[in-house]
Amino acid sequence: MPRDTGTDFFGKMRNHKAFASIPIVVVSARSRRNLAVSKDVPVLDKPIDEQRLLQEVQSSLASTSAR
């Protein structure tokens, strides 16, 4: 992203009314302890474990549809 960091983008998504309810799964080269994201947001470190990514996406979508 040319101007923002992933953390900046995450904050904008969460604070924008139109996007606040969209589930987010973070994929990062940094470990979770270095990211300023909510604890309820799944964070996957690179390299990506494809099976875990699929599980996290499915879980996030299921949580969203249950609301």
Q: Model confidence at 7, in pLDDT bands (50, 70, 90)?
A: confident
The per-residue pLDDT for 58 is 94
Radius of gyration, CA atoms only, the chain: 12
Enumerate domains of the chain plus CATH numbers.
6-65 (3.40.50.2300)
- What's the whole-model pTM score? 0.71
Pairwise pLDDT comparison (56 vs 67), residue with the higher score: 56
List, for residues 17-57, the tens digit of each pLDDT value.
Answer: 999 888 888 888 876 666 667 778 888 888 999 999 999 99
Contact 46/54 with Cβ under 8 angstroms?
A: no
Residue type, 38: S
Structural tokens at position 62: 């299921």
